[in-house]
Amino acid sequence: MTHEVTPPPATEEATDRDSRRMLRRALVMLIKLAIAVVACRFLLSFIRGVNWEQIGAAMSQLTATQVAALLVLVAIRQTDNAAPMALFISELGLRHAVTGDLSAILVSTVAPPPTDTVMRFSMFKSWDIDVSHGAVGVSLNTVTYYAVRFAAPVLGFLLLLFAEGYDSTYAAVAVFSGLVAVAIAVTLILVVRADRFAAAIGRLGGRIGHRFRPDQVDPEHWAEVMVKFRSTAADTLRAKWAWALLTMVGLLVVDAIFLTATMRFMGIPSAELTFAEILAGYLCAYPLTALPFAGLGVLDAALIALYTERGASDEATVLAALLVWRLATVLLPLLLGLVAFTLWRRANPAEAANVRAAAATGEVPEADDLARGTAQPSQGAAGTDP
């Protein structure tokens, strides 16, 4: 005779932990939904005021040669966008960096977090890149990108100051964004300078995280992880930070060249809006790309206001140029990302299972599962890494 083993009933602590986890997920979903609703309402109100006939007439002026030139700029832009990751992860290479970047754009748009992060680490596994090296590269890439994002208005203000003259709007944005950029840079410098700084910052972040996820975040474990990160990241950052910053600034310049080209193709002369004014305006508004969908609607409205204030007389043509830029830098990378991710997924079905699991469960697979290529979602250990 066989006896069935009855599993022990769930403890009250485990039940409370599951309830808190479900409540947090629901709260996060509500916040994301609220942000999406506000963004959509802003975008819809922005679209209603657009004269689409004028925009259509402006966009119809583009010739096949001009469209081909813009596509070349898009190719340069996406390569430049992926270059810092290739710099921070020497084993990655530029081709794989572009593939991962395009795939991340697609996955982060259509799937909930942390699917894009799991996708990146699954790709690292398929390319025989150590997970810890990949984690350092992703972290350095993200922090450097945010530092440049908030330093951009400072560069825009200085450019406009020397090329055209003082502007109080640019100055105010530059001061606020510059303080954020300095805070990010100082934090990164402290982390990589000494173990005690890294441990202190990791412990501080862990304490904040512990308030929201007490069952998943251990401040002391975060301190240990940050010290380990420092020892791995310090040499990489010292050797590659200048090149990474240069490529990110180059990305901003390519975007400004794209906007300038579309405006010139559609008939806005340099007498109305110089390249310096276009670049300075884009740098000033660049922090808005941190909003959902790269600031779609909000960033565009800010650029129109900045450019018309500087002298662009035809608002419809400016908007048409922005729409072409949006189509080329948002829609086209999504299509290319679909191709890149599909090809990778077919070539690496085991690693792709992790991505599907993350999209379905919203959990991050354990590091060992990522290394093996098996999709076993994490149950939230007390020492969740930052």
The predicted pLDDT at position 226 comes to 74
The predicted pLDDT at position 16 comes to 63
pLDDT tens track for 44-56: 665 665 666 766 7
Q: Taking 70 as the threshold, does the pLDDT of residue 186 lie above it?
A: yes
Burial of 305: CB neighbours in 10 Å, binned 0-12, 13-18, 19+: middle
pLDDT tens track for 299-356: 888 898 888 888 777 778 888 888 888 888 888 898 999 999 899 888 888 777 777 7
Task: Point out the least confidently predicted range of 65-74, 235-244, 276-285.
Answer: 235-244
Q: Taking 60 as the threshold, does the pLDDT of residue 158 lie above it?
A: yes
Q: Taking 90 as the threshold, does the pLDDT of residue 176 lie above it?
A: yes
- Distance between CA atoms of 190 and 347, rounded to whole angstroms? 41
pTM: 0.75
Count of beta carbons in the 10 Å neighbourhood of residue 64:
7
Structure tokens at 309: 């204030």
Confidence of residue 371 (pLDDT cuts 50, 70, 90): very low
Encoded amino acid at 38, one letter: V
Which is more confidently placed, 5 or 343? 343
The predicted pLDDT at position 368 comes to 42
pLDDT tens track for 101-118: 998 888 877 766 667 777
Which is more confidently placed, 39 or 321? 321
Query: In 288-331, which residue ranges form alpha helices assigned H by DSSP?
Result: 292-295, 298-310, 315-326
Q: By the 8 A CB rule, do 242 and 88 touch? A: no
| Interacting residues of 163 by C-beta distance below 8 A, sequence separation 6+ | 274, 276, 277, 280
Q: Taking 90 as the threshold, does the pLDDT of residue 179 lie above it?
A: yes
Angle, alpha carbons 76-78-79 (nearest 5°) = 65
The predicted pLDDT at position 280 comes to 92
Write the DSSP string, 18-64: HHHHHHHHHHHHHHHHHHHHHHHHHHHHHHHT--HHHHHHHHTT--H
The predicted pLDDT at position 254 comes to 92
- Count of all residues that appear for the chain in the document: 386
